[in-house]
Structure 1
Amino acid sequence: MANNSSLILYFSRNRGLVKTFFFIPTTLALLSTLFILFYISTTSHLFFNHHQRHHQHKLTPFILKNNPLPPPLKSSPVLVSLLNVSNNSHGDGRVRNQRSVNVPMEANGNSVNKEVFHDRDIFLEDYKQMNRSFRVYVYPHRRNDPFANVLLPVDFEPRGNYASESYFKKVFMKSHFVTKDPSKADLFFLPFSIARMRHDRRIGTEGIPDFISHYIFNISQKYPYWNRTGGADHFYVACHSIGRSAMEKAWEVKLNAIQVVCSSSYFISGHIAHKDVSLPQIWPRQEDPPKLGSSKRNKLAFFAGAVNSPVREKLLQVWRNDSEIYAHSGRLKTPYADGLLGSKFCLHVKGFEVNTARIADSLYYGCVPVIIANHYDLPFADILNWKSFSIVVATLDIPLLKKILKGISSEEYLLLQNNVLKVRKHFQWHVFPSDYDAFYMVMYDLWLRRSSVRVQWSTSLDSNW
């Protein structure tokens, strides 16, 4: 007891010492925290660049959602890339050349990014490698197969709103990417056609899930390729929105296989952006695109289409009678092409799905697309910088549409439209594919998603089915 009293008496006479005793560790903790924050702030760019280089070939797609993007008003340049990082290497030790880019400056001093690729040098180099080495094995089917119409390419030129699916398979099956040797394959193609099944009376819309489930069971029993990866190195292609429900009885396809689909939305549980590919929905046109400039575009914005979603209802409700934004429902009295050619901006507005052919229509006619479709995983977004040739507007900002579009300066618009003319070749199908067209861009997206692990097998297999 005496010792305790002595201790209390000692500290009562030395209150300054007590304060110092508690102040020192607090001060040290504060200094340590400040030092850590300073270190992070001065080296964070190193970590970010390392992350960027590390994932360049592991595929970290450029995710472009609508909601988090600020309205592209004049004070916030619409052409600034969300992913504008200057990397000095490919991630595999190869150093690329530093090239100076003449970037115009706005009045407020902010630079305007006019590059349509996230990294053009890497894309061009990897594109060549893809063309040389990428190989895909297709499960073989004969002409006398009972469902040859579903499994083999169409024998006519694809047409209509969902032609992308048929175009891809028709062109792909004649390409140099196909290999008959599965040991050399990077990926495996599941050649069933969702669109053809939909029109086959033996299958129909309701029977698609059963057909696919049986198909996967058959190939897993006859071939070892599906089983060795659980389908992770397999892919299929579908453009019609019915493809969303096609895998209801084959969840391993939805979860493991690469889905190359038009209805690619972050909002849909079955779509996984880092795994799946956004297929551009393109209305097929064989003639060369027009070469009109912006001087003949008298309307500010244009939309025409069925009112089949709350988003389109809202657009029509706000802008139906506007003199500068032409928003029309039902059949047009003038040619659809005239509306695209006579407008500075063309509106892509979500209908039943996030995707329509209107983006490709806009690009074809040299009109800057305005995307009003939340959670749309835009085609080729891991390759192309969509902020350099399009405007993204959140659906909630439809009442602000005119303010947003008029807030874009003449210089910004000219850059946008110039980039539209640069990228539109990537959104065209050809019976005989042309370098960098839609077919090659989809193949590049698939090449990015190929597995880096090759599984060897020695069993000799019968490739006829």
Structure 2
Amino acid sequence: MPHHANSPHPPAARSFLSRRRVVAVCAAAAAFALFLAAAPVAEDPSRQRAYLMGPFRGGSREETVVAGSLAGASSSSPSPAESPLSCLGEINLSGGIEPTPAPSMFLVPSPSPAENFDDGSMEEPERPEIKGNPPKDPAPFLQEPISTGLPTMSSDVNGEHDIDRKPVLPLRPEQAPLWSTAADEELIYAKKEITNAPLTSDDPDLYAPLFRNVSIFKRSYELMEKLLKVFVYHDGAKPIFHSPELKGIYASEGWFMKLMEANQNFVVRDPNRAHLFYLPYSSRQLEHNLYVPGSNTIEPLSIFVKNYIDMISAKYPYWNRTKGADHFFVACHDWGPYTTKLHDELRKNTIKALCNADLSEGIFIRGKDVSLPETFLRAPRRPLRDIGGRPVAQRTILAFFAGQMHGRVRPVLLKYWGDKDADMRIYSRLPHRITRRRNYVQHMKSSKYCICPMGYEVNSPRIVEAIYYDCVPVIIADNFVLPFDDSLNWSAFSVVVPEKDVPKLKEILLAIPESRYITLQSNVKRVQRHFLWHPNPIKYDIFHMILHSVWFSRVNQMQIN
């Protein structure tokens, strides 16, 4: 380069100064990285909330500054104290603006009005409306699964399930673990034991017709109790982390978090002993703290989750060993699946326990992911309140539904059956003249069949509520993977009706013989124990069933050879 007369330094000096600048920048970057690893999080909960909400208030792209990448840092980047990722806890990330994904991936509709659940509907959150058809993830690797002994259930007409003859194959991790551990060997041992499970026919604690294969389930559950160790990440501060919400329609994720973190049988402090790693964040708290009302985008939530996983994988070696295949999270909010879209390994490899278990979106992977029951709890201190219902002879209503008319199924249900048939009590809202005599819960306790149609998404808390009130659930949601479908035989205690058959709903229900209905209703009462929350978990309850489904998924991923 020629030497200009107005340059204050000759070429050699400028070269020396450039090298000094490079060294200085590298030293500063290293010091900053050490600062990130040691920076404490503010302990004042109100300040943590301010960190979360501040950068997103207003909803403009320029204001949506999310931490996590040193690349692209600018003078407009927030200070560490302002970063929404301050709630990550031990590591306080700050930095530049994350790349913005296509807006169509994160569009959400306007908020829907809240309603009172007792008069026939529930308080519905804002739901994301994904535009277009996202590409489905092809199964890159398949292996021989543990056979449950039964084909896959798809839909139910006239009280009998149609059977999908194609077996459901669980996914292997996309790449083998970088190194093997004693925990891997225990999982391989468990898979051999489960595959060769001894026949069970007379276990007084397990009613065989409720299960796809009671022998497989019993042996798998026994091995879970004996072997399973879970490491819970301590990173992350409240409110998004370690903050269980125990009331309402998102109670499942909150109750699991509370009981998992307090568990002394499965949780270990040494991650090197763990078979599974639990990511203890709340999808409900993500929505509550990061979503900007009226912004119509859940992008901030997705970026937050991506940066959390990036932090975990940078701080610990455990994620990278399996690319997240031995990690799991539990999310009941409808947005739970969509917040994984910006992190490929989280979306494809991690075991996702989701209430919104929709096969059509290309996010929930059957055989790897877990369908989480959506439980609506009104009284956290008394989770078993009002359990049970009237005997069969006193169930005078053929079918009952009341709720908001959103989604593609419910308006059709109301069109054909709303106020048109005395046997079909279908309402958009229970009229006051009716609630004076019988409220929402009493209707479910007095009905033979409780209609459980999808809303914005495929999941509905009415399915578990029907089970709580001894009412046979009638599930109308194509592409919905039913809870615990790896273990439970839903044809024994429910009716699944394709969406296209809503106009024939009464005909379908009346075609079920009385003897068949009595069997279904009796089995509802038997299966109820597997959907109950207890402040102190008991064997085979919903907490253990969720954990078993995650365990069974992980065992199924292991290669024996």
TM-score, normalising length: structure 2:
0.62
SS at match of 1:137: strand
SS at match of 1:64: strand
Displacement of 1:245 in angstroms is: 1.8
Name 1:215's counterpart in structure 2.
308
SS at match of 1:232: coil
Task: Return the match for 2:280 from 186, 191, 194.
Answer: 191
C-alpha change, 1:120 and 1:332, in structure 2 (3 Å) is: farther
Q: Is the 8 A contact 1:220 1:227 kept in 2?
A: yes
Name 2:343's counterpart in structure 1.
250
Structure 2 counterpart of 1:218, which letter? M
Q: What's the CA shift string for 1:401-458, capped at 9, x where partnerless? A: 111111111110110000000001111222221221111000110110125659xxxx
Please list every run of at least 4 consecutive aligned residues from structure 1 whose deviation after the TM superposition is greater than 3 angstroms.
59-64, 79-83, 89-95, 97-100, 201-206, 451-454
Worse overlay, 160-169 or 197-206: 197-206
Task: Return the match for 2:214 from 80, 98, 120.
Answer: 120
Taking the aligned partners of 1:163 and 1:206, their CA distance within structure 2 comes to 24
Taking the aligned partners of 2:202 and 2:256, their CA distance within structure 1 comes to 35
Name 1:96's counterpart in structure 2.
199
Name 1:9's counterpart in structure 2.
none
C-alpha change, 1:318 and 1:80, in structure 2 (3 Å) is: closer
Q: Is the 8 A contact 2:153 2:162 kept in 1?
A: no
Query: Are 2:498 and 1:412 equivalent residues in the alignment?
Result: no
Name 2:251's counterpart in structure 1.
163
Displacement of 1:350 in angstroms is: 0.9
Query: Are 2:458 and 1:354 equivalent residues in the alignment?
Result: yes
Task: Return the match for 2:486 from 382, 387, 402.
Answer: 382
Displacement of 1:241 in angstroms is: 0.7
Query: Are 2:529 and 1:425 equivalent residues in the alignment?
Result: yes
Q: Is the 8 A contact 2:151 2:163 kept in 1?
A: no
Displacement of 1:356 in angstroms is: 0.9
TM-score, normalising length: structure 1:
0.74
Displacement of 1:209 in angstroms is: 1.0
C-alpha change, 1:314 and 1:92, in structure 2 (3 Å) is: closer
Query: Are 2:367 and 1:274 equivalent residues in the alignment?
Result: yes
Displacement of 1:91 in angstroms is: 6.2
Q: What's the CA shift string for 1:170-203, capped at 9, x where partnerless? A: 0111112111111211111111211112112598
Displacement of 1:271 in angstroms is: 0.8
C-alpha change, 1:212 and 1:201, in structure 2 (3 Å) is: closer
1:9-408 to structure 2, matched below 5 A, reads 55-56=145-146, 63-66=152-155, 69=156, 71-72=157-158, 78=160, 92-96=195-199, 115-141=209-235, 147-154=237-244, 158-175=246-263, 176-201=265-290, 205-284=298-377, 285-287=383-385, 289-320=387-418, 321-333=420-432, 334=435, 335-408=439-512
SS at match of 2:340: coil
Structure 2 counterpart of 1:272, which letter? I
Displacement of 1:56 in angstroms is: 2.4
Q: What's the CA shift string for 1:71-96, capped at 9, x where partnerless? A: 226xxxx279889x9xxx97644542
Q: Is the 8 A contact 2:220 2:552 kept in 1?
A: no
Taking the aligned partners of 1:342 and 1:90, their CA distance within structure 2 comes to 44
Q: Is the 8 A contact 1:63 1:377 kept in 2?
A: no
SS at match of 1:302: strand
SS at match of 1:243: coil
Taking the aligned partners of 1:208 and 1:192, their CA distance within structure 2 comes to 12
Worse overlay, 171-180 or 426-435: 426-435
Structure 2 counterpart of 1:396, which letter? K
Q: What's the CA shift string for 1:123-163, capped at 9, x where partnerless? A: 2232122112111111123xxx6x32211143xx6101111
Taking the aligned partners of 1:98 and 1:352, their CA distance within structure 2 comes to 41
Q: Structure 2: any 5+ residue segments left out of the alignment?
A: 1-143, 168-191, 378-382
Taking the aligned partners of 2:351 and 2:369, their CA distance within structure 1 comes to 5
C-alpha change, 1:309 and 1:442, in structure 2 (3 Å) is: same
Q: What's the CA shift string for 1:207-229, capped at 9, x where partnerless? A: 21111111111111111111111
Q: Structure 1: any 5+ residue segments left out of the alignment?
A: 1-53, 101-112, 455-465
Displacement of 1:62 in angstroms is: 6.2
C-alpha change, 1:98 and 1:235, in structure 2 (3 Å) is: closer
C-alpha change, 1:417 and 1:81, in structure 2 (3 Å) is: farther
Q: Who wins on radius of gyration, i.e. which is larger?
A: 1
Aligned residues: 372
Q: What's the CA shift string for 1:216-253, capped at 9, x where partnerless? A: 11111111111111111111111011113211221220
Displacement of 1:286 in angstroms is: 2.8
Q: What's the CA shift string for 1:51-106, capped at 9, x where partnerless? A: xxx6327x89964333xx5x226xxxx279889x9xxx976445425679xxxxxx
Give me the identity figure in percent. 36
* Pairwise CA RMSD: 2.8
| Greater RCO (CA < 8 Å, at least 6 residues apart) | 1
Structure 2 counterpart of 1:313, which letter? P
Structure 2 counterpart of 1:96, which letter? L
Taking the aligned partners of 2:486 and 2:251, their CA distance within structure 1 comes to 23
Taking the aligned partners of 2:468 and 2:421, their CA distance within structure 1 comes to 25
Q: Is the 8 A contact 2:450 2:471 kept in 1?
A: yes
C-alpha change, 1:341 and 1:55, in structure 2 (3 Å) is: same
Taking the aligned partners of 2:477 and 2:291, their CA distance within structure 1 comes to 35
Taking the aligned partners of 2:516 and 2:208, their CA distance within structure 1 comes to 9
Taking the aligned partners of 2:197 and 2:539, their CA distance within structure 1 comes to 25
Structure 1 counterpart of 2:232, which letter? V
